[in-house]
Amino acid sequence: MDVRCQELTEDVTLLADEKSKLVDQSARDESLALRVTTLERDLAKSQVRVTELEKVLYLQQFFRGFCILIRAYPIGRF
C-alpha cells in the first residue's frame, strides 16, 4: 500500500507540473494573441496613413504640373 501511495503522489506531482506548464503556455498564447491583434490594428492604421499620403503626393504632383502649365501659358497669351 505504501508503494502505491508513493506512486500516486509522484503522479500527482507530475500532473501538477504539467498543469503549471500548460497554464504558463496558455498565458503566453494569450499574450501573443493580444500582440498579434495590436499589430494588426497598427498595420490597418499604417495602411490608412499610406493611402492618405499617396493622395497628398498625387495632389502635389498635379498642382506642380498645373503651376508649370500656368507659367508656360499665361492667361494673357491667349
* The three grid cell numbers given for residue 49, joined into one nine-digit string: 496613413
* The three grid cell numbers given for residue 2, joined into one nine-digit string: 505504501
Q: For the chain, how big is the Rg over CA atoms in Å? A: 33
pLDDT at 78 (0 to 100): 52
Domain ranges, residue 34:
2-77
pLDDT at 77 (0 to 100): 57
Domains contained in the chain, number:
1
**pLDDT tens for the chain, residues 1 to 78:** 788 899 999 999 999 999 999 999 999 999 999 999 999 999 999 999 999 999 999 999 999 999 988 888 877 655
* The three grid cell numbers given for residue 20, joined into one nine-digit string: 503549471
Give the global pTM.
0.60
pLDDT at 75 (0 to 100): 75
Q: Residue type at 41? A: R
pLDDT at 65 (0 to 100): 92
